[in-house]
Amino acid sequence: MKKTLLVGALAGAFATMAHAQSSVTLYGLIDAGITYANNSGGHSLWQESNGAINSSRWGLRGAEDLGGGLKAIFTLENGFSIANGTLGQQGREFGRQAFVGLSSDQFGAVTLGRQYDDVVQYLGPLSLTGTQYGGTFFAHPFDNDNLDNTFRVNNSVHYQSANYAGFKLGAMYGFSNSTGFSNNREYSVGASYSFAGFNFAAAYLQLNSGVNSITAASPLNSGGAVTDSPFLAQRQRTWGAGLNYTFGPATAGFVFTQTRLTGAASISGGTIGNGTAVSLLAAPGVPGSMRFNNYEVNARYALTPALSLAAEYTYTDGRLNGLSPKWGTAGLLADYYLSKRTDVYLQGEYQHVMNTAGGTFNADLNTFKASSTSNQVAVTAGIRHRF
């Protein structure tokens, strides 16, 4: 009997130790609202919106203490629509993030799986799109720089340094998982530095498709590191830099990004007024080129601990086979926290297209059907809950 009690006590002690050294957290966010758009595909629109600021998601995050400052870590994050319950990210079970790796207090972390690129991880927090202060509808035209996380990187290995007195560095490589080393791959690098209220960041991203011709059946990185880019092109290069400064309850910032497409055919995520894809061909059957320069100024201010305001304006200068389309996109957000986990918000966006490239481009706020004119307005009243 004594032996049985001793074995039971030891088993309980080991279970307690294992539990103390490991943790798994269930977390999530639900964002829903009612949206009005003045012109979506040529008609006014009232709709229930999902993720006007942050896309709805739930996930599991875990860590196991291996000793000596080393941990095993993982994240599995699912995206879904609260409006109809369907999966996001092209129907993936864990389409937002899915990775596992090792983390060291001294040297940083190495992770493998489906992850965010370094433009998103380092430059994204300085922009209002893709963050809790502006989100989905504030994206730059066609989310050309991916700051709103239109795509993630499959088959990727990512290194994230430790925080060295405010400085952090990251690097990523996304494998094609097929023959042809340079085909369908991705790589990115990024860095950030924070000091005395200032935050600086810079990042670079490159996607290669490796195909000789572009068709609707062969999007950028089809079947490789990236499968959900909005562009049909042979190569995408995106780089950018930004800074912001926090003083008291206010933060003001500026972000610049440039995206260049070579061997480009179309923007699959964008449409013109009649619902067809935007063609980037230089001539029938001949891939063209596209360049976007995005200049974003943004600010946010906490009027009270519960009530905050945010605003941004982005000027986008485009180049398309000798044409020069330009976009002006503005966004405003008022956010009120009912509790630490629940807030309600009212936001509005306006986009105007100048030099429409011979009518190729109309206003096209992120996630909406394009306007039939050069202007588009959207207004959303919504609620977010975190758990």
> Is there a domain that residue 16 lies in?
no
> Is there a domain that residue 4 lies in?
no
The confidence score (pLDDT) of residue 351 equals 98
Burial class (CB in 10 A: 0-12, 13-18, 19+), 299: middle
> Is there a domain that residue 278 lies in?
yes
Range of the domain at 343: 22-386
- DSSP states along 155-179: EEEEEE---BTTEEEEEEEE--SSS
Q: What is the mean pLDDT of the chain?
A: 88
With 0.85 as the threshold, say if the pTM is over it: yes
Give rounded-to-5 percent helix, strand, coil for the chain.
Answer: 10, 55, 35
How long is the chain?
387
Q: At residue 177, what is the residue type?
A: N
> Is there a domain that residue 14 lies in?
no
Q: How confident is the model at residue 267 (pLDDT cuts 50, 70, 90)?
A: confident
**CATH code at 275?**
2.40.160.10
What distance lies between CA 103 and its chain's CA centroid? 23
What sign does the CA torsion over 35, 37, 43, 49 have? Answer: negative
> Is there a domain that residue 313 lies in?
yes
Looking at the 3D structure of the chain, how many domains does it have?
1
123 to 192, 204, 257: CA distances (angstroms): 8, 10, 9
Least confident window among 103-112, 262-271, 378-387: 262-271
**CA nearest neighbour of 34 among 316, 268, 387, 381:** 381
Share of the chain above pLDDT 90, in %: 74
Question: Tens digits of per-residue pLDDT, 334-349?
Answer: 999 999 999 999 999 9
Would the pLDDT of 171 be above 90? yes
